[in-house]
A = this chain, B = another copy of it.
């Protein structure tokens, strides 16, 4: 699961920062824009997954931006949450008509914001298609999150599971420890390369005699998952 990117559009920097802080603590990537103009180019460049849009903006109103985004086919599916001052119920209607997916009245608690944000993201990102992978009697089923070796369920820790999943969907190719950290641990972690060795070891152990040869050491380079040995 990759981190979602959220764009905050508000002309008041303190508010932006407050929101940005909450979001970053919850592991979202955050972009900020102080004007509709800036917002638009950020959207084109960075393709955020969601926009938090303030209703009151000096130049072009937030409403205008929302309309524009929804009209353009490229950005039409981008979910938008409108922020607005308390009690202005009319705005809510207008905002939703303009294509906003949800609406939050200021002042709001960070907690509420997060909850709504998740709800919107949840219902706009459809589930992926998860396919079962099978190699020589080794079966990985992402749907039930289960791995079995010749029918017998294996006990894998989360990291071992992800590692195996990556290998099974990227067979026959050598990956350096760095690449594995990138792919399995997810981009922005700082861990020792040798840690990979340890997890490889754990995975091999869990796979047992019957399948541990599938994970091969390529000396001086990295590791490879292959049926040929």
Interface residues of A in 152-191 (CB under 8 A from B): 153, 157-158, 172-174, 178-179, 182, 187-191
- Which one, B143, B190, B191, contacts A123 given CB within 8 A? B143
CA distance A123 to B127 in the complex (A): 11
- Out of B115, B131, B145, which one reaches A221, CB within 8 Å? B145
Residues in B neighbouring A189, C-beta threshold 8 A: 119
Within 8 A of B (CB), among A106-132: 111-112, 115-116, 118-119, 122-123, 126-127, 129-131
**Complex: A178 Cα to B119 Cα, angstroms:** 9
What 8 A-B pairs come out closest when comparing CB atoms?
A: A115-B190, A158-B220, A145-B174, A77-B93, A144-B172, A119-B129, A145-B218, A143-B173
A135 at interface, CB cutoff 8 A: no
**A75-126 residues at the B interface, CB under 8 angstroms:** 76-77, 89-90, 93, 96, 102, 111-112, 115-116, 118-119, 122-123, 126
Q: Which residues of B contact A130 (CB under 8 A)?
A: 119
Number of identical monomers bound together in the oligomeric complex: 2
- B129 in contact with A116 (CB, 8 Å): yes
Contact, CB under 8 Å: A118 / B173? no
**A interface residues (Cβ-Cβ under 8 A, vs B):** 73, 76-77, 89-90, 93, 96, 102, 111-112, 115-116, 118-119, 122-123, 126-127, 129-131, 143-145, 153, 157-158, 172-174, 178-179, 182, 187-191, 218-221, 224, 226, 228
Residue of B nearest to A174 (CB): B145
Q: A126-B96, A157-B219 are in contact. Are A145 and B224 (CB under 8 A)?
A: yes
Q: Is the CB of B174 within 8 A of A224?
A: no
Residues of chain B contacted by A123 (CB below 8 angstroms): 127, 143, 182, 187
Quick check: A90 and B116 within 8 Å, CB to CB? Answer: no
A153, A174, A190, A191 — which one has the most chain B CB atoms within 10 A of its CB?
A190
**How far is A187 from B226 in the complex, measured between Cα atoms in Å?**
33
Q: What are the residues of chain B within 8 A of A190 when measuring CB–CB?
A: 111-112, 115-116, 119
Q: A90-B73, A190-B112 are in contact. Are A178 and B143 (CB under 8 A)?
A: no
